[in-house]
Amino acid sequence: MDLSTSGAQLRLANGLVPVEGDDITLRLVDGRHLTGSVAWSDRDMLGISFEQELPSVEDVLWLEQRGADWFYGCVRAQERHGNDRRD
The more confidently predicted of residues 85 and 10 is 10
CATH number of the domain enclosing 81: 2.40.10
* H or E element in which residue 72 lies: helix 67-86
Counting Cα atoms < 13 Å in the Cβ hemisphere of 60 gives 18
For residue 42, the enclosing domain spans 2-86
Domain count, the chain: 1
What local confidence, expressed as pLDDT, does residue 14 receive?
76
Give per-residue pLDDT as tens, 4-52. 889 988 888 777 778 899 998 887 766 778 899 999 988 888 899 999 9
Question: pTM of this prediction?
Answer: 0.62
Q: Is the dihedral of CA 34, 39, 22, 18 positive or negative?
A: negative
| Banded pLDDT at 63 (limits 50, 70, 90) | low
